[in-house]
Amino acid sequence: MSATARLPHPPSLASYHSGSNPLPLMPTTVFTIANQKGGVGKTTTAVHLAAALAEKKIPTLLVDLDPQANATSAIGVEKQEGRSLYGPLRGEGAAAEMIVATSSERLSLIPSEEDLGALEIELAGKENYLGRLRAVLQPVRASGQFRAIVIDCPPSMGMLSMNSLSAADHLLIALQCEYMALEGLGQILRNLERIKTAVNPELSLGGVVMTMFDMRTNLSRQVVEEVKNHLPDQIFKTVIPRTVRLSEAPSFGQTIFTYDNTSPGAAAYRGLAREVIERFGLAKK
């Protein structure tokens, strides 16, 4: 078991609320990073956006909703049986009980485990099957413990990803700078509309993050230009470069901020976090 997995749960704000002058509760903004394609940089973006927000003093909860648990291990937390949203999403236990601290101050995690994958089938046809995650995260939102929640999704638009769209205020799309990138975009946007109509009218397309930008190729530049033309207001100015350091960090259970803090990948994700804070007013109380 890694050291971080043994850290205590982050303190609940309730403990600060004694006395006559209670702190105002923080509003919580929920982001989901979704794309049915695998290997496009969703997990890398979820982990580093969450870690960079925390570094900028924004209390943040990363929710690993991918049964592969890549975000959990990337952040240096060991998987534990029974510690994921599997139980809560089936109506057993509370999401708050699943929260663990990480080695970064202000960054907490709800880990994932393989069982989560069974929900793709188990939830089908059940009551409120698309709104389960929203309901399960509601008490965590209401606790005022976190200013931001970042959900990392599996590489499919199945039950888990659709639930994340229902639970979120903003969808952030990670899009790899590659040939045919725009093709996948259409499918995600159609799902966004479906969920907006069916369950979550508040959901918005919060932004598009271009990942794995390769400076040596024209293709990367062309893809960015094309997305800029389609979604000029949504595309983030910060483009994430393709760098080996970003792909190495997770195998050490580290984020780029501890693995190679001065690398271009670290600078890029800090830039993205700055834009997210600005765009969604996260620094405001």
Q: Closest distance between ligand ADP and the C-beta of residue 96, in Å?
A: 26
Query: How far is the first Cα of the chain from the last one, in angstroms, to the nearest whole number?
Result: 37
Choice between 27 and 271, CB closer to ligand ADP: 271
Q: How far is the CA of 12 from the CAs of 15, 54, 71, 92, 96, in angstroms?
A: 6, 16, 23, 21, 10
The C-alpha atoms of residue 161 and residue 155 are separated, in whole angstroms, by 8
Q: Closest distance between ligand ADP and the C-beta of residue 252, in Å?
A: 12
Query: Is residue 176 part of the contact set for Mg ion (CB under 5 A)?
Result: no
Query: Is residue 243 part of the contact set for Mg ion (CB under 5 A)?
Result: no
Choice between 44 and 108, CB closer to ligand ADP: 44
Enumerate binding residues for ligand ADP (CB under 6 A): 38-44, 70, 155, 211-212, 240, 242-243, 246-247, 250
By a kind-dependent CB cut-off of 5 to 8 A, residue 44 interacts, out of ligand ADP, Mg ion, none, with ligand ADP
Query: Is residue 43 part of the contact set for Mg ion (CB under 5 A)?
Result: yes
Q: Can you read off the two tokens belonging to residue 212?
A: 């794995």
Write the interaction track for Mg ion spanning residues 64-83; mark x where CB under 5 A is met and - where it is not: ------x-------------
Taking the CA atoms of 143, 57, 208 and 73 in sequence, report the sign of the dihedral they define: negative
Nearest to 105 by CA among 221, 203, 7: 7
Q: Closest distance between ligand ADP and the C-beta of residue 18, in Å?
A: 41
